[in-house]
Structure 1
Amino acid sequence: MISRLRSRNSLSKHLRTMVRRNRLRSSLLCCLLVTCVLGLMWFRFRGNSYLDMDHDMGHSLTARQSEVTNQEHNELDDALSRVHRDRRERLREVCRHRKVTYLGTSPEEAVRQHFVFDSNSQIVYCAMEKVGSTFWRRLFQILAGKSKSKSPFDLSPADALGGNVHTFSNLPFYIITGMVTSYKKFVFVRNPFERLFSGYVDKIFSMAFSHYGKYIVKTQRPNASQRSINCGHDVTFAEFVKYFIQAERTRKHRDGHFLPMYDHCKPCQVGYDYIGKLETIQEDTIYILNQLNFTSMASRLQNEFVDKTRNDSYSDQTNLLFRFIKMHQKCISAHELQKIFWKKEQIRGLIDPDIRFPFSEAESQKLEASQYLKALHRSVGRTKDNKMAKEFRRAALLQAYATISRTDMDALKEILKPDCEIFGYDCESVQ
């Protein structure tokens, strides 16, 4: 009996010991599992922290880059805003003192045709010849919803006029007054000496206005040859300037391509909100478009302006040339006219002035428009550099004005003085 009790006690003790050991093992195993889980969680946490740090750093870098880009755009916009504010203030200040003097004498019906407007966007643009008006008239058709084209360069320069864009021509005066008071108004101007020379090159030198050429020869050239009188193909810049002075003094035989800018777009009467300049046409165009809430068009032109402007001119001038060859074949040979148009593009800084016209007189007789156009593209040369192109234009300008007498130059400065004062150009120097 006693031995059985002892045996039972020994077994019970042994079982309790085994239970305690199992509990210890279980505890150790649980601790090990918890440690592993915590370790994995720690490594996962650390890994994600590094990933998140890289992700955040990427976002921070992009954000900083975006901030820099936005800052640059904002600084540029601020600078342009100051420029346009200064131009407006100058206009107001000059006109405040000279309003009566600077009214101009152009007939009202002629002035009305220069103004185009869009009632939906409430904008008014005064289109001035020889100051990017061919470009802006096409662009205005798109802004006014009159064309489905995405870019003004998609429209032919020949389509600049018309396009069902509304003008002031047939509007009652009280409606015009309301528009001028409430709509946003803008205009583009240019150095008046450069504009006058550009008008000569584009319309007289290249025989676009042969009727004016004939008139100038008859009135400004003593002992002119019969061919020159009949054709007006060889008018010099000095003769053109004499014609211009006479036309402004007598108010006869004037033309919008040569008309002083203040008499063309009436700045003292209109009071423009934005005054762009041809010298900075890309920057001013994009700024004005953004100000008028045409931001998508501004972005599009930002990327295509320079190259497409050159190509646009090449195509337009080539079309004009081959049309004029037929028109003027009784006065001038195809070879002579082709060389004139080649020189014209050199004066405008669009092809290198040192590259000669590449076709002989015999080749000119059979020359096709596509061949001439390809030759233009091959002759860009140093004009690809905008600074060089500007220098070439300036050299041509100075060379032309060097032929003007002191008397005519003084008279010219007096005629162009209002434009210089209103728009901030130097009338004492062609440079």
Structure 2
Amino acid sequence: MSSGAVGRFWKRCVLWKQLTVYISIFLGVYFILISGLRLSTGFDSLIRKVTFSKKMAPIYQHGSQAHGEEEYEGYDDANPTMLESSHMNYSVQGEAGEYYEGGQFYDTMQTDFPPPDNPHFQPDPPSGPVKMNRDSKTKEAEKKAVLVGGVNKSSSFKLDKKKFDSEQRIRKSLLGEQCKKNDPRKVSKQSAHTMSHMMLIAPKHELLFCYIPKVGCTFFKRLMKVLNNNIPNTIDPYSISANTVHIIHMDYLPTAPKRKTEILQSYRKMMFVRDPYFRLFSGYLDKMFMARPSIFELSRYIIKTFRPRSTPAERKCPIDVSFEEFVRYVIHSNTYKTHLNYHFEPMHTLCNVCGLDYDVIGKLETFTNDVYFAMDKINQTSKLPKNDFRSVRIEDELKTVVNYAFQAKNNTCMTFGQRLRRLWRRAQIRGFLSLNLTFPLTDAEAMVTTKKAFLKLIKDAQFKSREDSTLQRNKLDAMIQIYGKVPMTVLLKLQKLFEIDCKLFGYDPKPDIIFRRELLRSSPFNYFNLIKVR
């Protein structure tokens, strides 16, 4: 090979070597950049996980204490509100699935776990909705999960049952201790009346249920009808009309001594209770505020007895009973045993709570989970709604109150427009409608509207209101406002009346939102301006 050929070959080798170096450098830089990006992404992910864990740790702890680690959901948008006027630590329970604790509002009709009964527990809610990436397996598992009344019957179900059983032991232990401290004859003085009128039975499932008015009794009556298969084509309790269930035949505890004793000894026994102050408020809202004609006789008595210088017109059409007059009546009637109405009697007088050994003591504040597990005890969870209770309950409740209003359309004590306005306001107080939505009909338009048209109108309004975050606090604001109009001397008498119920079932006998009114700021919205009292 000539020297020129060798030179050219050598030059080619040098060029290839240089090219190889350049390629190596390029690939090295490329992999360094990619690795750095992955490291940065991983670090950011780690930061997000740590931040998420810190934010959600109280929520998961909350779920673990109650019914396992489940996803936290708020009222509608996972954004619970704080009371603006104070940061007091108090615990108050409300309607089925509603819970206000330590300045926080929860809705267990939609939440997958109930708040604990511990009045000192204050979860730290997330600042807004938290979105999590889920892989395909997780999504598929979620599709296959059985949802009954908002409870996820998944792998944590066994743990949840243990928590439920533990909570039941606590409730029954408290009840037993308090029954020993109180005279059983005083606690269960109306048990004879209860035996024939309050206790429903489902013989096929050997179940006895004692219902208490204003503690979901309409739902439980319907549930017992479904368990007894008394009405064809009933899938779940909500497939029975709420207006119908109060007038049809129910299966009560027999009065024959031998059979009654057999049932009381052998059947599984259940009951549900509720915070007494919320129960009383609910009774006023449904009976007095809505001016039910069926309660007019009692309303006349209240006005005549507890309204100084009442007029004949007020007694003839008793549509404006004030909350203070109502509270005075409840205290007087239960103290002196006159003009009693079982909707407003203390719970301990209705179900012989110290004379019977109840297997399940549910609470309306943890309604969804308690009713699910109560039915699990008799293997009848299939009789419960397959969707979350809250959405089903709201639609059912709106339909029910509209039916009641149209049944009373021809009552001459108030115009039909006035009656529908109260219905609309009740829906606002219950947190179904935004306070910004004023009643849309004139009196003339109300008179000609049909039940179907008005039901659509209020359902559309409820749909529009879903994005209103202030809905969460409407009912509590209304309670603060109306209890705030009752003199403290009267409230202290009411506290004494509720004392036994609170001790037996673990409720606060003197809740701050009622008795520490100087620390609370009342809502500027007048919830009860439709009640006209001189």
Indicate whether the TM-score tops 0.5: yes
Q: For residue 166 of structure 1, give the secondary structure of its aligned residue in structure 2.
A: coil
Q: By how many angstroms is 1:204 displaced?
A: 1.3
Q: By how many angstroms is 1:255 displaced?
A: 0.6
The reply on whether 1:246 has 2:341 as its aligned counterpart is: no
Equivalent position amino acid for 1:427 in 2: P
Partner of 2:377: 291
- Cα 1:361–1:422 shift into 2, 3 Å: same
Percent sequence identity is: 26
Q: By how many angstroms is 1:81 displaced?
A: 2.0
1:216/1:240 contact within 8 Å kept? yes
Partner of 1:379: 461
Partner of 2:77: none
Partner of 2:12: none
CA shift digits 1:188-236 (9 cap, x unpaired): 1111001011111111111121111111111111122332111110011
2:216/2:364 contact within 8 Å kept? yes
The reply on whether 1:153 has 2:238 as its aligned counterpart is: yes
Partner of 1:369: 451
RMSD of aligned Cα (Å): 2.7
Equivalent position amino acid for 1:409 in 2: L
2:226/2:383 contact within 8 Å kept? no
CA distance in 2 between partners of 1:383 and 1:93 (Å)? 45
CA distance in 2 between partners of 1:372 and 1:384 (Å)? 19
Q: By how many angstroms is 1:122 displaced?
A: 0.6
CA distance in 2 between partners of 1:174 and 1:422 (Å)? 30
1:117/1:166 contact within 8 Å kept? yes
Q: For residue 421 of structure 2, give the secondary structure of its aligned residue in structure 1.
A: helix
- Cα 1:87–1:380 shift into 2, 3 Å: same
Quick check: 61-70 or 258-267, which moved more?
61-70
The reply on whether 1:198 has 2:282 as its aligned counterpart is: yes
- Cα 1:248–1:61 shift into 2, 3 Å: closer
Runs of 4+ off more than 6 Å: 58-69
CA shift digits 1:104-139 (9 cap, x unpaired): 433723542100112221100011111111111011
1:188/1:277 contact within 8 Å kept? yes
Equivalent position amino acid for 2:235 in 1: K
| Higher helix fraction (1 or 2) | 1
The reply on whether 1:76 has 2:160 as its aligned counterpart is: yes
Equivalences for 1:1-40 in 2 at 5 Å? none
The reply on whether 1:336 has 2:418 as its aligned counterpart is: yes
Partner of 1:123: 207
CA distance in 2 between partners of 1:101 and 1:357 (Å)? 50
1:347/1:393 contact within 8 Å kept? yes
Number of residues paired by the alignment? 369
Partner of 2:342: 256
1:352/1:381 contact within 8 Å kept? no
Q: For residue 157 of structure 2, give the secondary structure of its aligned residue in structure 1.
A: helix
TM-score, normalised to structure 2's length? 0.65
CA shift digits 1:33-67 (9 cap, x unpaired): xxxxxxxxxxxxxxxxxxxxxxxxx9999899999
One of 429, 444, 451 as aligned partner of 1:347: 429
1:99/1:268 contact within 8 Å kept? no
One of 388, 398, 401 as aligned partner of 2:480: 398
Q: For residue 257 of structure 1, give the secondary structure of its aligned residue in structure 2.
A: helix
CA distance in 2 between partners of 1:64 and 1:371 (Å)? 38
Q: For residue 418 of structure 2, give the secondary structure of its aligned residue in structure 1.
A: helix
Equivalent position amino acid for 1:351 in 2: L
2:191/2:349 contact within 8 Å kept? no
Q: By how many angstroms is 1:163 displaced?
A: 4.5
The reply on whether 1:227 has 2:309 as its aligned counterpart is: no
For structure 2, which runs of at least 5 residues remain unmatched after alignment?
1-135, 146-151, 514-534
2:333/2:340 contact within 8 Å kept? yes
One of 493, 506, 510 as aligned partner of 1:411: 493
CA shift digits 1:293-327 (9 cap, x unpaired): 113224xx24242211111111111111011121x
Equivalent position amino acid for 1:253 in 2: H
TM-score, normalised to structure 1's length? 0.79
2:201/2:208 contact within 8 Å kept? yes
Q: By how many angstroms is 1:355 displaced?
A: 1.6
CA distance in 2 between partners of 1:277 and 1:241 (Å)? 23
Equivalent position amino acid for 1:140 in 2: M
Q: By how many angstroms is 1:385 displaced?
A: 7.3
1:260/1:419 contact within 8 Å kept? yes
1:102/1:268 contact within 8 Å kept? no
The reply on whether 1:113 has 2:197 as its aligned counterpart is: yes
Q: By how many angstroms is 1:390 displaced?
A: 4.5
Quick check: 65-74 or 407-416, which moved more?
65-74
- Cα 1:369–1:178 shift into 2, 3 Å: same
1:129/1:257 contact within 8 Å kept? yes
Partner of 1:178: 262
